[in-house]
Amino acid sequence: MILKKIVHGCYGVYGICLMFQFYGCIQPEKADFFQDSYTLDGSLPSFDTYEGNIYLSRMVEQGAQASWVVQSLDGRWIDTIDQRQDWFVNWADMPKISVCRNGMLGLALRHIGPDHHAYTIDYYIRRQKEEAWQYYGQLPLDTSSTEHGFPSVEPFEDGWMVVWLDGGAMHRNGFMSLHSAQIGMDGQVINRQLIDSTVCDCCQTDLVMAEGQPAVIFRNRTENEIRDVYWSVYLNGKWQSSQPVENDGWLVPGCPVNGPQMVNNNKTLVCSWFTAAQDTAAIKMRILSEPESDVITLEKNFVIGRIAMEAMDTQGFGLAYFRADGKEATLKIQTFDWSGKPQSAWEIAPINPSRNSGFPTLGFANGKLSVAWTQWNDPEYKIKIKTFNL
């Protein structure tokens, strides 16, 4: 049972950390075999996959107003959730969608104060067989002019489980905290919980379902400014005490804006993260469902991070990130089987290494892996999408 392994692993001994610059010596190929490759208007792409379909969320800015667009990747369905002038449109914190059998949930970011980084999370629901999205307003209870964002969401029970970073304590000289809540198909919010009271201010969270129970991964923060990656599982209606994935000991006084990611196939739970501990930039990976698994360094030195992961059924999982060598940067994808053994590696495309390129996103459906990212050519933003057979 994976949940038994997870709980044991939270308190177990992790074993010796093995480090390699390229795990398995898989060198990237130039990817030139895409089945589909196209460009869309907008930025902040985010995928969600359900029953063989990949759904894309994106923001399209038109002057002072922005449209939040969601569509199926095959182009058969497209909709605009809402159009507003007070969206918080930011390179690192993006709207999210989650599809389940009874409908779709959308999580958006909206300004709530004069400070540019004062924003909250709004939520929308589009029920099955209904054509309109219903707006429910603010998800966090806190209304202070601080940050509330970086949400992650998964279908759970009769609705969704959502986690997010909540700055409610920051206006009282406190820390950013990690919260959760369940949203029902009727729009009601229940079971609000505090997961961790001291976390990194603006690193992405991730949430997956492990044997029907949520597991969350995030970047923690200590009073001494150590910002390592932690995780927690939800058992018997409560979040367990968060535990370190690995004690990297990354001392950094400000948020690196580089969150971890996680994938699961109901037997194996794998995570990946960026660190620059000891002044060495690295992409790392660990099989969390194996309590004594080693930490693997996939690549170091010439990496920016900004990781995306996606489960590929029984085949394994994909991992995307940005790497850089001097002034040049590329989007790289690697695939692995569920034991962590590398399968393939590709350099997908050159990218602008600035924040304007945002974060990549991965989706898998019907034996095909899709990747999307923001391409910035000042002042224009476009979304590049590539799909290929494995």
Contact 332, 322 (CB under 8 A): yes
Of 151, 23, 16, 30, nearest in space to 97 by CA: 151
In tens, the pLDDT along 48-67 reads 999 999 999 999 999 999 99
Indicate the average pLDDT of the chain: 90
Contact 352, 358 (CB under 8 A): no
**Residue-level pLDDT at 21:** 33
DSSP letter for each residue of 196-234: EEEE-SSPPPEEEEETTEEEEEEEB--TT-B--EEEEEE
**Residue-level pLDDT at 72:** 95
The whole-number average pLDDT for the span 135-164 is 97
**Residue-level pLDDT at 79:** 97
Contact 188, 242 (CB under 8 A): no
Write the DSSP symbol of residue 251: B
In tens, the pLDDT along 7-34 reads 333 322 222 232 323 333 344 454 444 5
Whether residue 169 has pLDDT greater than 50? yes
In tens, the pLDDT along 181-220 reads 999 999 999 999 999 999 999 999 999 999 889 999 999 9
In tens, the pLDDT along 357-388 reads 999 999 999 999 999 999 988 889 999 999 98
**pTM for the full predicted model:** 0.91
Q: Could you say which architecture CATH assigns to the domain 2-389?
A: 6 Propeller (2.120)
Burial class (CB in 10 A: 0-12, 13-18, 19+), 368: middle
Quick one: tokens of 194?
């505090």
Decide: helix, strand or coil at residue 271.
strand
The single-letter code of the amino acid at 282 is A
In tens, the pLDDT along 279-319 reads 999 999 999 999 889 999 999 999 999 999 999 999 999 99
Contact 261, 317 (CB under 8 A): no
**Whole-angstrom distance, CA of residue 157 vs CA of residue 234:** 13
**Whole-angstrom distance, CA of residue 168 vs CA of residue 136:** 20
**Whole-angstrom distance, CA of residue 74 vs CA of residue 55:** 9
The whole-number average pLDDT for the span 251-260 is 96
**Whole-angstrom distance, CA of residue 388 vs CA of residue 33:** 7
Q: What percent of the chain has pLDDT over 70?
A: 91
Burial class (CB in 10 A: 0-12, 13-18, 19+), 341: exposed
**Residue-level pLDDT at 35:** 63
**Residue-level pLDDT at 375:** 94
Chain centroid, CA 134 distance in Å: 25
